[in-house]
Chain A
Amino acid sequence: MNDDLFGGDSSQWAFGTDFEDPLAGVDTTMVDDVVADDLALYCLGLADDALIMSQRLSEWCSRAPEMEDDVALANLALDLLGQARLLLARAAAASPSVVPVLPEGSPVPPEDALAFFRSAGQFRNVRLAEVPGGDFAHVIVRLLLFSVARRELLERLRGSRDQVLAAVAARGVKEVSYHRDWSARWFLVLARGTGESRRRLISALDELWPYQAELVRCGAVDLALADAGVGVDPTTYAGAVDAVLGEVFATSGVERPSRGPLAGVGGRLGRDGVHTEALSLLLAEMQVVARAHPRGRW
């Protein structure tokens, strides 16, 4: 990112820029009664959700049904990538031990080291984000399920005692509100469109629903951070998520899916580093160039 765009001479742009740094003036000190590794893991979970979703959304670049939706999907991907960057950087600041070690003299910043030099087992994203893409209905359903839950999370995270997390959430809640609105509108259009669009929508919903419960599951790290007033316990907003989805389903005339949640491995889920094979393939594509040039400057 060209950081000169924050401030500086913007008269060269037709409409002006006036970009704002979301962390300007934010107190970056760590809350002292939180275990540093817990905070790092918590940030990695939220960051990885956004990063992997962003990667999946960006796969739609040039493939959406209309150019306008192509640009919209790229915008959403970039919103989430921006959230991921700030959260990865916060994870690294909280506990440098989570950052992969690169060759001495490598200019790769910690946020990039975390994004490009961790293997699948070290990623903490929910599995909903990583499952392979399908048709346009699939991207709509995935984005709806994801953004409804993430919006409730970010809304509550704005009150975090960690000022950086609070600032990221305050910025992100506006972005994700739009993602929710955008995907809910498309959900309605596809549900009430043609027989074919409705069939595809319900098929995608049926496929992705087993991954939904993971979005509102509370792990040990979530609980520890929530108790400290730094994180949010997902079970506190599970009801709100359910209500929003129920409203979308009712308006669209779609029945709530009946399939149960997808089991983990010995109770371990995406947040614990247990993933589907799709994540390895996604990471191979996302990381190959950075890994080939560990001393590269981008």
Chain B
Amino acid sequence: MGEWPLYEVFVRSKRGLNHVHVGSLHAADDEAALRNARDVYTRRNEGVSIWVVRSDAITASSPDEKDSLFDPSGDKVYRHPTFYTIPGSVPHL
């Protein structure tokens, strides 16, 4: 065995609003991956929804590009909306 493709698993927990990456697994096809994810990652009553996606369908940024991709935003403090006062009557912003 071992020829089964790798899948990444995302679970939305009962208290969460978004799906969170929880790990990966092997499966023969998409449906089997969903079942396997149910059995491996939600057996302790964690989830209400599962996404699976084949790992090779994910395009990831390269660690080599870290400097050029992310460092430039490191000193752009003006991009945070912190230069005005928030009225007290606005609870969530």
Where the two chains meet, the residues of A that have a C-beta atom closer than 8 Å to any C-beta of B are 13-19, 65-69, 71-72, 75, 181-182, 185, 189
Whole-angstrom CA separation of A15 from B44 in the bound complex: 9
Q: Specify which chain B residues have a CB less than 8 angstroms from the CB of A181 in the assembled complex.
A: 35
Q: Which of A65, A67, A75 contacts B43 (CB 8 A)?
A: A75
Q: Assess whether B39 is in contact with A75, with CB atoms less than 8 Å apart.
A: yes
Q: Mind listing 23 A-B residue pairs with CB under 8 Å?
A: A13-B44, A14-B46, A15-B11, A15-B14, A15-B15, A15-B45, A15-B46, A16-B15, A16-B45, A17-B44, A18-B14, A19-B45, A66-B1, A66-B4, A67-B26, A68-B25, A69-B36, A71-B39, A71-B40, A72-B39, A185-B32, A185-B35, A189-B32
Contact B47 A15 (CB under 8 A): yes
Q: Would A15 and B26 be within 8 Å (CB), given that A65-B1, A68-B36, A71-B39 are in contact?
A: no
B50: min CB distance to chain A, Å = 13
Given contacts A65-B1, A66-B26, A68-B26, contact A16 B43 (CB under 8 A): no
What separation, in Å, do the CA atoms of A18 and B1 have in the docked complex?
Answer: 37
Which residues on B sit within 8 Å (CB–CB) of A72?
35-36, 39-40
Contact B28 A189 (CB under 8 A): yes
Interface size class of B (residues with CB under 8 A): 20 to 34
Query: How far apart sit A179 and B28, CA to CA, in the bound complex (Å)?
Result: 19
Which residues of chain B have a CB within 8 Å of any CB of chain A? Answer: 1, 4, 11, 13-15, 25-28, 31-32, 35-36, 39-40, 43-47
The residue of chain A having its C-beta at the shortest distance from the C-beta of B40 within the complex is A71
Contacts of B43 in A (CB 8 A): 71, 75
Residues of A within 8 A of B4 (CB): 66
Residues on A with C-beta less than 8 A from B13 are: 15-16
User: Complex formed: what's the CA distance from A75 to B35 in Å?
Assistant: 12
Q: In the complex, how many angstroms separate the beta carbon of A24 from the nearest chain B beta carbon?
A: 15
